[in-house]
Structures are given as C-alpha cells and as structure tokens.
Structure 1
C-alpha cells in the first residue's frame, strides 16, 4: 500500500515512523515533512492546504491511504474534497469530514454538542463584538479565574486564563473588537474555570465502532512548575498514573460513548482520531475541548506504545471493522521531552545547526521543526525535537530522555527539566 502522511511536525514523524514498520507499507510519503521524516519516507514539498497539489501527488504515486496529521486541512475540508473528486473516490482518508472537524474549528459548536448530549463540561456563554456589554456582565457573574477562548483555530494560543476581572474585560474587548486572534476571535466563549488535573484521551473511530488508545498527560507551559506562556506542548507521559479502572470506566461511559453516539445521532460522519481534552475534578472527568486529530506531543508517547501494525488498524477503519481489532499496548511507560528554540513561544530564530543526533542511545528522536540544509540538520520551528523513551515507569523513561537530551545541542536550545513533576 502506498501511503501519504500530511504534516510536518513531531506528530507526523511519529505516525510515519510507525507506518514505516508495517509489512503492508510499500511506499511512504510525507507532505511537507521534515528532516526526520526524510530518513524513513519521501518528503514532498506540498502544503497541507494545497488540495490540488495533494491530489496530483496521490494520483501520480498511486496512493490509497492518506493520514491527516494537523487540524487545518481537516477544518478546511480535505476529506470532503477527496469524496467529491471522482479520481480520488477509492482513496481512504484518516481524518473527519469538515462538519465533524467543526468540533475543533469552533469552540461554540463543540460546547453546544456537549450540552445537547449531556457530556460533562464547564458552564459557558458565547459572545460577539455587539454583545460586549453582556460579556462583561457574564464575567462579573463568575468567580476568578476567568477563561476566555477564541472560537476558531488560533494555533493553540487562543485560550486565556486570567485572575483579574478588569484584565479579563480588557482582553475580551481586545479579542472581539481589536481582533487579537484575527477571525478566530470573532466569537469568544467564556466559561467557568475548572480546577483539577488535565489529561488527554485519544479515540480512533470508523464511524460505527471505536477504540480508546493509551491515555497521556502533556505539559503546555513554557516554564517549570507549569508557569509562563502556553505552548504547543513541552512534554508528555503515558500512561497516566491516576487513571485507575474506576476513573477509566467513568471516561468511557460518560464521555466517549455519548460522544460517539452523539455524532451518529446528529448525522455527523466521523472517521479518524478524536482527541478529548479532559480534566479530573473531584474524581469526576469533564471535557475541556475536542480536537479532531492526534495531539502533539502526546502522539510521541501514545503511538509508540501501540504494538499493532498501524496499517492493519487503518484497514479496519476503512472496512468499518474496528470492533474486530484487539489493540495490543506496551505495558511500559513512554515519556517525551520537547527541545525548543530560544525565545519560543514568542519570537525565535531558525536555521540553527543541531549537533549530537548520531549519539542518541535507547531513545527515539522525533523531529518537529527541523529541515535538512545540505549535509546538516537545522532548526526550522519553535518546537524542534521530541526525545521519547521507555521505562518501567515514567521516572525511568524521563531519566533516559534527559540523559540523551544532554547529548544534543543547538544555539538557544531549551527544554523543561520537570516533566511529570506533579505526578
């Protein structure tokens, strides 16, 4: 089978790494890819939103399976594009259609879905610029901290958590009136703050059946002790130590099953990965958000723990036979630590040579923001590399990741030294 993975980050390198191990993978392509994917697949310099370019690549190379990594092409309707094109009708796309992708593309749409299907989540209201005064009044009715979310996609930066009411009002105005996040904040969702511990639940569904993948916990803040600005993710661990059988059952019965049933009841076709961002509040799970793809950096610990041939799993998705698959999960803990560019998540420089890649032992380096420049690998983004390791528990895995990160260097390289500190 000829396969295309769309995207260029650590998530896509991890998916390509896993797919490349399959006996069913004949030729593997990644668009646009990075320096890591170039070592195991053929990179193609096509953007994830260039549907025509993707179509030409698929037809030229006889690709029959397309795995969509990031959310943007899904929200823009790449799956729908494939369904409408006669020449592409026999190509399977792992990733939901545009309507289903609205679960991530619109916070308001997602909240309405959750309330409609009695899925536990925070109380909320939505506001646009002409409802600014009502937004102020709603903020006044809440206890701090105040949670403001841009309705649309804002590259993981559209959520603000503020302790001061005056600051919250000012930020609401900036988002709605001054378009702080562009079109993404044309509508802003204000919701009650949930105090608890966050975790990530990943589900793969063929539209009829589902499988819950290993759960993970990621760390979003740039600073140690979960301080500073939000990032795309600074590290992750799997499994999550506090998810026992009782809590797992609550997640499945109260959240996963009602979500899958709700999609079918609403006539929303869904094929692919579903990320459910959860928070444990007083022993009960609540949904923070849905994403319509695998999370990053959680992918770098979830996918390596799956022992199955991933192409065979995707074939079961194609055939709506996911219920026939028995997932085999590695019992060991997997950990990943992200090395980022100096200055990230604000301004940072690219093009810094990465040294030491050949010296890594017993860990897997997943490339994110990297590219090949002549015979060098250089930084090409904010999050540059993910160092993934296994251990009998997350402490052992993290110790191995950290020891290997010490062998790497590039100008301005930074990573958090306290991933898993709260466990």
Structure 2
C-alpha cells in the first residue's frame, strides 16, 4: 500500500524508517519531511494542517494509510475531515477523532476525564479571567512548588512550576491575560507531585490495546536536568524502575480505565495514547495525556518493536489489534539529541553538518535538517538524534556518545548525562 506520514521531526523520520522496512509498504511519502526522510521516502511540501492539500495528495497518490505525527492536525480534527469525506472515508487514518484529541488539546478536559474514570492524578482546579481571585485563593491552599498549566496547546511552553506564592499569583494573572494566547484563557492549577517521571505508550483501536515499550525522556537543556525546557534532549527505553508489578498497576489503574472511558463516551480513537506518568511512593499518577507518540521517545520505542509496524497500524484501524502478536526487542535503546547552539531560545539555521556517513552501529534520525546543493544543513533547534541498542542502557548510551563524537557543525550541543538518574 502507499503510505503518507505527516510531520517533519525525528519522530516522523523514525516512523518512516520502521514503515519503509515493511513488505506491506509500496510507496512512502512524508509531508513535509526532512533530509533524513528524503533518503527513504518522497518528501512533499505540505503543511500538516492544510487538510485540503493533504486530501488532494492522498487522492493523487492513491494513499491507503495516513500516519499523523504531531498533535496540531489531530486537535484541529483531521480524523473527522477524513471520516466525513466520501472520497477519503476508506483511507486508514492513524490518529484519534477531534473529541479524542481533546485529551491533549485541553488540560481541563483531560483532568475531567481522569476524575470521571477514577484515574489517579494530582488534585486540581480550573480558572478563567472571571475567577482570577478564586484562583489566587486556591494557590494559598497548596504547598509549594505551584503548578500552572495553560489549558490549550502552547507548543510545550504552557506549564510553569514556581516556588514562590506571589510569583505564582502574578503568573496566573499574566497567563489569564493572554500570555499564551487562546491556550491560557483557562488555566489549570494542580498540586505538585514529587517523584520520578516516565512515559507509557499505548496503541489502541478504541476497544483493544497494546502497551508499547516504556521510555523516559530528558526535557531540560542543561546537565542534571537544569535550565529551560526543550522538546527533549534524549530518552531511554525500557525504564529500569518500571518493574512488572509497577507496570501491572499502570495497566489496571490507568490504561484499562482510559480505554474503557473512551468506549463509554463513544469516542472514535484509533491511534496512540502517550501517558505521561510520575511514580510517587511506588504508585503511578497521570501528569498528562498526549494523543500521539512523543519526540524523542519515538526514537527509542519504535526501534524496539519487532512486529511489522504497518501490520500493527492496519489492525488498529480495522479494530483487530487483539489478533496481532506484539514482539519487543529485549535490548535497551537510548537516543541522544544533538541541538543547535542557543536552543531552546534563539539559534541559527543553515550550519553544515558533517560526519553522519561515518556513524556505525547506531541509527541516525534527522529532526531539524535539510539538504541543499549536496550539503546537509541544520534547519531547527533539535537537529539529529543518535539511537543505539545494546544489552543495557549504559552500553547503548556509550555507543550513542561514541558516534556523536563523529558529528560536527558550528555551535553543536548535546547533553552528556542522559540516563543520569536511573542508577
């Protein structure tokens, strides 16, 4: 079949890498893609939220399956666009409906869903500009640090964790006054949970589900998880502290009630659920839902899946996931993200990248790259992810770091301590 992947990052290159290996895939397209996807697929210069252009491309290229990478088109209703179109309704779109995507598109909706289905999460309240005073009073009932979350999508920047009460009250006012635009018209304030975080990925057809490998990513720009939040500086899979008994708690208390909740509400959900969790006193709590795979977690999760990914996705769309045997590579996978100097703030693009062809025994996933006049150039903040597999995460990390030393571009930066907190 012909398959289209929407997106341009490391996540989408990883999807392309796995899908290109499948005997079920004839022609592979990525929109808009990057220099990495260009080597194994046909890149198409289409915006991921231009549904009309996507429709024309799907029909023109006889696309049978569309895999949606980022959250934006899902929250904006691409699944509904396909299902309501006579010409597109038989195309297999991997991603939830607009109602399903609200689990990521609205923090308030996600919290209400968790409360409804008794899924463990932090205590919370939601506030608008009209209830600002009540929000400030609620902050006074909490212990620091204070967690403020913009309700809508804010490009990963809408969560603030503050130690000072006055600062938290001021930030609440600023957010409700439009700091994050429409995204912070409502702000969720929740209690701070102290523990260690991990991500659990679930593939569901809305009825059945498969729990994919766990991962832990590292969001801060600086060593020791200090400094500004980024889109992710590296990841490890599996998570060593998530043993069988802890995973059973996650399945029983979180995964099952989540899928059952989607069913009870008649939500059309055929795709990935990314559950951001925190382990507190050996119990799992949900921090957030995402309705797609994470980045850079995809770069360590998908390479460990031995089952044909296209077969898995087809079974998801056909609601036959229970008939598929999910096989996972027992080795650990790690990825380290190489970024542009200055990221996540101001950085320059167009720096020539050298050394990718010398990398051995690791996977190279492009994130922010482009090819121009025969040269590979930086084209984003996060540039390249180097993923390695080995018997344990320490060996895999050693391999990733050895290969990163073969890469070079002006002001190149990466963290040297991915996995530092797993011992």
Q: Name the TM-score class by shorter chain.
A: over 0.9
SS at match of 1:312: helix
Alignment of 1:115 with 2:115, yes or no, is: yes
Alignment of 1:211-290 (within 5 A): 211-290=210-289
Q: Determine the structure 2 residue equivalent to 1:351.
A: 350
Equivalent-residue separation in structure 2 for 1:326 and 1:204 (angstroms): 13
2:178 equivalent to 1:164: no
- Which digits, 9 at most, give the CA deviation of each residue in 1:67-104, with x for residues without a partner? 00000000000010011111111101000010100000
- Report SS of the residue matched to 1:111: helix
How far apart in 2 are the matches of 1:67 and 1:267? 22
2:131 maps to 1:131: yes
Q: CA deviation at 1:169?
A: 1.1
- Other-structure match for 2:206: 207
Q: Deviations over 1:13-42 (max 9, x none)?
A: 000100000001000000000000000000
Q: Could you tell me how far apart the structure 2 residues matched to 1:341 and 1:127 are?
A: 37
What does residue 143 of structure 1 align with?
143
Offset of 1:120 from its aligned partner?
A: 0.1
Encode CA deviations 1:140-166: one digit per residue, 9 max, x unaligned. 110000000000001111101111111
3-state SS of 1:64 partner: strand
Alpha-carbon distance in structure 2 between the residues aligned to 1:229 and 1:268: 36
Matched with 1:187 is 186
TM-score (structure 1 length as normaliser): 0.99
Kindly report the root-mean-square deviation, in angstroms, between the aligned alpha carbons of the 2 structures. Answer: 0.6
1:198 alignment counterpart: 197
Paired residue for 2:93?
Answer: 93
Within-5 A mapping of 1:48-59:
48-59=48-59
Find the aligned partners of 1:420 and 1:388 in 2 and give their Cα distance: 13
SS at structure 2 position matched to 1:115: helix
Partners of 1:352 and 1:182 lie apart in 2 by: 32
Q: Distance in 1 between matches of 2:101 and 2:133?
A: 31
CA distance in 1, matches of 2:347, 2:130: 36
1:327 equivalenced with 2:326 (yes/no): yes
Q: Secondary structure of 2:79's partner?
A: helix
How far apart in 2 are the matches of 1:6 and 1:106? Answer: 22
1:375-410 Cα offsets, whole Å, 9 max, x none, are 011111111110000111110000110111111011
Q: What does 1:281-300 correspond to in 2, within 5 Å?
A: 281-300=280-299
Q: How much does 1:267 deviate?
A: 1.7
Structure 1 residue matching 2:273: 3-state secondary structure: strand
Distance 2:281 2:40 in 1: 45
Please report how far the alpha carbon of residue 353 of structure 1 lies from its aligned counterpart in structure 2 after TM superposition.
0.8
How many angstroms apart in 2 are the aligned matches of 1:350 and 1:132?
Answer: 41
Structure 1 distance, partners of 2:25, 2:222, is 40
- What is the CA-CA distance between 1:186 and the residue it aligns to? 0.8
Distance of 2:307 and 2:120 partners within structure 1? 32
Q: Deviations for 1:297-341, whole angstroms, at most 9, x for unmatched residues?
A: 000000000001111111211221100111110000000000111
Q: Secondary structure at the match of 2:228?
A: strand
For structure 1, the 5+ residue unaligned runs are: none
Instruction: Mark the runs of 5 or more structure 2 residues left unpaired by the alignment.
Output: none
Deviations 1:213-261 (A, max 9, x none): 0000001111110111111100000000011110010000000000000
Separation of aligned partners in 2, 1:166 and 1:318: 49
When the two structures are aligned, how many residues end up with a matched partner? 422
Stretches (4+) displaced over 2 A: none
Q: Secondary structure at the match of 1:13?
A: helix
1:34 aligns with 2:11: no
SS of 1:36's partner is: helix
Return the alpha-carbon distance in structure 1 between the equivalents of residues 415 and 184 of structure 2. 30
> Hey, what's the Cα distance between the residues in 1 that align with 2:94 and 2:327?
20
